[in-house]
Amino acid sequence: MHIETFHTLSDPTRRRVLDGLRRGERQVGDLVAEVGIHQSGVSRHLRILNEAGFVTVRQEAQRRYYRLCPEPFRKLDAWLEGYRHMWDARLDRFDAALEMQQRKGGTE
């Protein structure tokens, strides 16, 4: 996993743009109100996401349509898979501690 991936995703505005594209292909104008910044800002973030491979653009006459590209997300998911066992183990311990606490609370 390249550091550029994390740098690209570290920006909260870019994450809002990605969230807006989860519903499907959209134009810049469709994302402006949702993201909460001017059109030029949305366009800049879409350019960065496109260069990083997270979105693709399709031009139809004068319109540009942006959509998510699944491959970088698959790579990120595959990289994270190696760390999930740590989270799962911690969640299992947390669950056991909660159950023990509930049992103690029920017997007093």
Mean confidence (pLDDT) of the chain: 90
- Please tell me the predicted confidence (pLDDT) of residue 107: 53
Run of H or E including 11: none
Does pLDDT of 13 surpass 90? yes
**Contacts of 72 by beta carbon, 8 Å cutoff, 6+ apart:** 5, 52, 53, 54
Give the start-to-end residue ranges of the domains of the chain: 3-68, 70-108
pLDDT top residue among 99 and 48? 48
| pLDDT at site 55 | 97
Task: State the pTM of this model.
Answer: 0.77
For residue 16, CA distances in Å to 7, 8, 58, 70, 79 come to 15, 12, 20, 17, 22
Q: In this structure, what token pair is assigned to residue 41?
A: 């800002």
Distance of alpha carbon 51 from alpha carbon 62, whole angstroms: 21
For 52-92, what is each residue's pLDDT tens digit? 999 999 999 999 999 999 999 999 999 988 888 877 777 77
**Under CATH, which number does the domain 3-68 receive?**
1.10.10.10
